[in-house]
Amino acid sequence: MEMKTLAQERSKAEFDVEAMKVVWAGGEASLRLNQRMAELVANDPEFQKDSRVMQTRSELLKDTFRKAAHAWELINKLHFTEEEARCLRKHIDQPSYADLHWGVFIPAIKGQATDAQQKKWLPLAYSQAIIGCYAQTELGHGSNVQRLETTATFEPSTDGFIVNTPTIAATKWWPGGLGKVSTHAIVHARLLTNGKDYGIHAFIVQIRSLEDHQPLPGITVADIGTKFGSRAYNSVDNGLLRFNNVHIPRENMLMRLATVTKEGKYVHSNVPTQLAYGAMVNVRKSIVMDASYSLARAVTIAVRYSAVRRQFGVQDGQPEMQSRLFPLLATAYAYRFLGQWMSSLYSDTMACFENNDFSTLPEVHACTAGLKSIATSTTADGIEECRKLCGGHGYLTSSGLPDLFAVYVPSCTYEGDNVILLLQVARYLMKTLKFLGSGKEPSGTAAYLSNVTELVSKNCEVAKESDWISPKTLRYAFEARSARLALKCATQIAAASTQDEGFSEASCELLGASRAHCELIIVTRFMGALEREIPGRGVKNQLQILCNIYALSLVTTRAGDFLMTGYLSPEQVELAKSQLRDLFKKVRHNAVSLVDAFDYTDFYLGSSLGRYDGNVYESLYNEALKDPTNASAVTEGYTEFIRPILKQQLGTSMSRL
């Protein structure tokens, strides 16, 4: 019966699902690559994931190492490109040290090492003759990088640096891949030479022997222990690291931006420091892409399960598809287009940098910081919402949702804590408003602020429901909300006795203004993506509906912002709600096909609730019976601990008390 339901839902689709798959994947080639890797992983017994549920942490780590080694063997045997290898790792669906080696260690060498250093280190890293991690965070300092305490003191007599961990708080703590695997680490430490502190710089430090993997003299290294959830991110060996007078050669300082000479003189190179920011844009783009994939995964499970759930019976032939799902579905699509736009932003930014044009850097930095923050926070909340949408069954590991949440949620913290990032956006917004009219006109995603006078005075003209689905109206509403909130903060800060005090007192309001700015960017990027031709029957129309759902669900959930700033009247919010209800009706019978377009295989989803065939109950039932606790009908421990109670044979009894 459940299986028939999903097939019926699919038959109602008003668009070409195959064409939507191409749009979602970002082109035919990406779609085929994804499908090829998904199939390869699903059909290889080495990558099966059923046994993960019952593994201890040590078993899980070993299982992860085995899979990473098998993947590496395949990558070499089949001569995969870097893109193919990345796609393969994604489908293995088990985070590992390799993610950090390829995703952080190698890009850091590319970004911060000189050409000569890259020539030395990259071949070793590419062949995995060395395995590396990125060791920045310390026990006492995470967000505040400038206060890191690890030292690298130049010693002219040995032409090298002595690396030390002066306090317990200076212990490196968290780096992924450090705890059990990495042979090398990029260590961030204070550079001291000729008695002067030159601040935080990066150094390559070998931490384990390449012969027997023992920690080198002076190095203390270990895993930091079990993390949130029982599996999830526990497949990564996040580690701790301490240095006791560890000597490294001078050339191990990453010297693209600055060098220390043989004599100990600190010299800036002629490479502009801004170049280092390029890599950050790329990393944040990948994080936003991941947000869309993870949210899409959770939404697939919740939509399919909602479509087969018949708790209260069929009403008007409709399944119990809950409207709460549709904004999440729309958000997954919004983030996908946002990620695609960030890819081109990265290429454009790098092209400007190569021409020594760094004028866009503050704007690009602020916008990508904010988008990372909003996309990861919303996705983490969205996965949890999907779990709740699945009721009790969502809490079962076999739903696939608890692990997805536990793996995803630290992205709100790493690569910049989300609150800190939004405060950086706020600083940029305040600076932009301050310099308006001084010749420094805002550009890119902040260009609307040059129109602030009109945006704060002209109120919304929506008079009927359908007025809300005009891109111009929506864009203007989001610009007005953002400009008004930002201006309010600027006025509040200007009234404080000092700028810093004002900024600190207004921090709550500033976070709201930054969120509004970022949501404006996401709405406009979604609209922008729909300005082009999109082939496939009904595809563009569905995306248009989703775009309007995304924008209007923000108008209604953030109604407080719009009302408080006076841009909308309560009646206009009501009209937005009513328009949204109409859009929900339009998307309802396309929802199953819209999640099919994400093209997740059952193997990848790993969910009894999200199965393609909808055979949910049988799957839940079978998964429960597979649990090792059900290996025998009478449980282990019965004879020692349960029978004596039932037989009144325990030493003390309640009746004697």
Cβ proximity to ligand FAD, 281 vs 568, nearer residue: 281
The answer to whether 298 and 401 have CB atoms below 8 angstroms apart is yes
Q: Is 471 in the site for ligand FAD (CB under 6 A)?
A: no
Cβ proximity to ligand FAD, 384 vs 415, nearer residue: 415
Cβ proximity to ligand FAD, 233 vs 353, nearer residue: 233
Which member of 111, 132, 142, 402 binds ligand FAD (CB under 6 A)?
Answer: 142
Segment contacting ligand FAD by CB under 6 A, of 81-89, 137-145, 314-322, 644-652: 137-145
Helices (H), 261-413: 277-308, 325-354, 361-389, 401-408
Q: Is 410 in the site for ligand FAD (CB under 6 A)?
A: yes
Rounded CA-CA distance 100/177 in Å is 6
Q: Is 100 in the site for ligand FAD (CB under 6 A)?
A: yes
Please report how close the Cβ of residue 35 comes to ligand FAD at its closest, in angstroms.
Answer: 30
Q: Is 137 in the site for ligand FAD (CB under 6 A)?
A: yes
Which member of 11, 58, 81, 143 binds ligand FAD (CB under 6 A)?
Answer: 143
Please report how close the Cβ of residue 67 comes to ligand FAD at its closest, in angstroms.
Answer: 19
**Phi then psi for 627, rounded to 5 degrees?**
-60, 135
Cβ proximity to ligand FAD, 3 vs 419, nearer residue: 419
Full 3-state SS string of 189-216: EEEEECCEEEEEEEEEEECECCCCCCEC
Cβ proximity to ligand FAD, 136 vs 230, nearer residue: 136
Number of residues that bind ligand FAD (CB under 6 A): 19
Q: Is 503 in the site for ligand FAD (CB under 6 A)?
A: no
Rounded CA-CA distance 431/446 in Å is 11
Rounded CA-CA distance 62/77 in Å is 22
b/e 237-268 (16+ beta carbons within 10 angstroms → b): bbbbbbbeebbbebbbbbbbbbbbeeebebee
Cβ proximity to ligand FAD, 259 vs 413, nearer residue: 413
b/e 171-188 (16+ beta carbons within 10 angstroms → b): bbbbbbbbbbbbbbbbbb
Segment contacting ligand FAD by CB under 6 A, of 3-11, 129-137, 342-350, 438-446: 129-137
Please report how close the Cβ of residue 242 comes to ligand FAD at its closest, in angstroms.
Answer: 14
Residue 562: both structure tokens together:
């719009």
> Which residue(s) pair with 258 in the sheet?
268
Please report how close the Cβ of residue 234 comes to ligand FAD at its closest, in angstroms.
Answer: 10
Residue 189: both structure tokens together:
């430490």
Which member of 111, 132, 176, 400 binds ligand FAD (CB under 6 A)?
Answer: 176
Radius of gyration of the chain (CA): 27
Q: How far is CA 560 from the centre of its chain?
A: 27
551 sits in which H/E element = helix 539-557
Q: Which of 525, 213, 161, 565 is CA-nearest to residue 341?
A: 525
Please report how close the Cβ of residue 506 comes to ligand FAD at its closest, in angstroms.
Answer: 12
Helices (H), 222-276: none
Q: Is 179 in the site for ligand FAD (CB under 6 A)?
A: no
Rounded CA-CA distance 232/403 in Å is 5
Cβ proximity to ligand FAD, 117 vs 238, nearer residue: 238
Cβ proximity to ligand FAD, 44 vs 417, nearer residue: 417
The answer to whether 422 and 511 have CB atoms below 8 angstroms apart is yes
Q: Is 414 in the site for ligand FAD (CB under 6 A)?
A: yes
Rounded CA-CA distance 462/192 in Å is 62
Please report how close the Cβ of residue 606 comes to ligand FAD at its closest, in angstroms.
Answer: 20
Q: Is 175 in the site for ligand FAD (CB under 6 A)?
A: yes
Rounded CA-CA distance 459/474 in Å is 13
Q: Is 417 in the site for ligand FAD (CB under 6 A)?
A: yes
Cβ proximity to ligand FAD, 134 vs 277, nearer residue: 134
Rounded CA-CA distance 477/184 in Å is 51
Segment contacting ligand FAD by CB under 6 A, of 172-180, 321-329, 548-556, 644-652: 172-180
Is residue 176 a known part of a binding site? yes
Please report how close the Cβ of residue 233 comes to ligand FAD at its closest, in angstroms.
Answer: 5
Window 286-325: contact mask with ligand FAD (x via CB under 6 A):
----------------------------------------
- CA atoms 223, 226, 232, 235: torsion sign: positive
59 is catalytic: no
Segment contacting ligand FAD by CB under 6 A, of 44-52, 294-302, 406-414, 599-607: 406-414
Please report how close the Cβ of residue 169 comes to ligand FAD at its closest, in angstroms.
Answer: 11
Please report, as residue ranges, which positions from 233 to 252 form the binding site for ligand FAD (by CB under 6 A).
Answer: 233, 238
> Which residue has its beta carbon closest to ligand FAD?
142
Please report, as residue ranges, which positions from 528 to 547 form the binding site for ligand FAD (by CB under 6 A).
Answer: none
Catalytic residue among 415, 465, 505, 623: 415
Residue listed under structure tokens 């090829």:
36
Residue 514: both structure tokens together:
């930054």
User: At a CB cut-off of 8 Å and minimum separation 6, what does 376 contact?
Assistant: 287, 291, 408, 411, 412, 418
Which long-range CB contacts under 8 A does 453-460 form with residues at least 24 apart? 455/479, 455/480, 455/483, 455/484, 456/480, 456/483, 456/484, 456/487, 459/566, 459/567, 459/568, 459/569, 460/567, 460/568, 460/569, 460/572
Segment contacting ligand FAD by CB under 6 A, of 135-143, 298-306, 514-522, 539-547: 135-143
Please report how close the Cβ of residue 444 comes to ligand FAD at its closest, in angstroms.
Answer: 26
Cβ proximity to ligand FAD, 413 vs 451, nearer residue: 413
Residue 341: both structure tokens together:
């736009």
Altogether, the residues listed in the chain come to a count of 657
Rounded CA-CA distance 237/232 in Å is 12
Rounded CA-CA distance 518/421 in Å is 11
Segment contacting ligand FAD by CB under 6 A, of 179-187, 199-207, 413-421, 516-524: 413-421
Cβ proximity to ligand FAD, 174 vs 584, nearer residue: 174
Q: Is 606 in the site for ligand FAD (CB under 6 A)?
A: no
Please report how close the Cβ of residue 55 comes to ligand FAD at its closest, in angstroms.
Answer: 19
Please report how close the Cβ of residue 93 comes to ligand FAD at its closest, in angstroms.
Answer: 17
Annotated catalytic residues are 415
- Judged by the rule CB under 6 A, the positions of this chain that interact with ligand FAD are 100, 134-137, 142-143, 174-176, 233, 238, 410, 413-414, 417, 419-420, 423
Tell me the binding residues for FAD: 137, 176
